[in-house]
Amino acid sequence: MDEFSFHKALEHLWEAIRATNKYIDAAAPWKVARHCESPEGSRDNLQKDRLNFILAYSLEGIRDACILLAPFMPATSQKVLSALGYEEFDAGGSCHLEASSCHPEGKARRISKLCSWWQNQDSFTLKKLDPLFPKIEVSC
């Protein structure tokens, strides 16, 4: 905290994002989802609980990354949080949640509100999200 090393903060953040991505790849929720329902139509509650845990843990990592990435990439963070169903978080810093939210204490309250909102959700409906970083085709 004695220095403003934004590049170091971003390095650690990208490490966390890569770890979340690695977890999602290893946990393979798309494979677990196939085992949640048997051919006879009965549900495997153990697999369903496992799938719910994998998805919740993955979404938590994504949400945390968005909050930490907001000072560096506010529009990207806002898009992802919006796709998760949280429309009120304004990573860019406009003051629409409460009159005093431009003040640093107001921003802390907004982040606190996001954290408590997240913990009180029983289910999520994810919105379709266009690619955040579209591939740029370069012809030589």
Domain assignment present for 112: yes
Host domain of residue 61: 6-119
The first and second tokens of residue 55, run together, are 């998805």
Q: For the chain, what is the domain count?
A: 1
Domain assignment present for 110: yes
Taking the whole predicted model, whether its pTM rises above 0.85 is answered as no
Average pLDDT across the chain, whole number: 77
Domain assignment present for 72: yes
How many Å apart are CA 135 and CA 41, to the nearest integer? Answer: 41
Domain assignment present for 125: no
Domain assignment present for 127: no
Q: What is the CATH number of the domain that holds 56?
A: 1.10.730.10
Digit-coded pLDDT (tens) for 9-41: 899 999 999 999 999 999 999 999 888 776 665
Domain assignment present for 134: no
- How confident is the model over 91-109, as a mean pLDDT? 47
How many Å apart are CA 45 and CA 119, to the nearest integer? Answer: 22
Domain assignment present for 52: yes
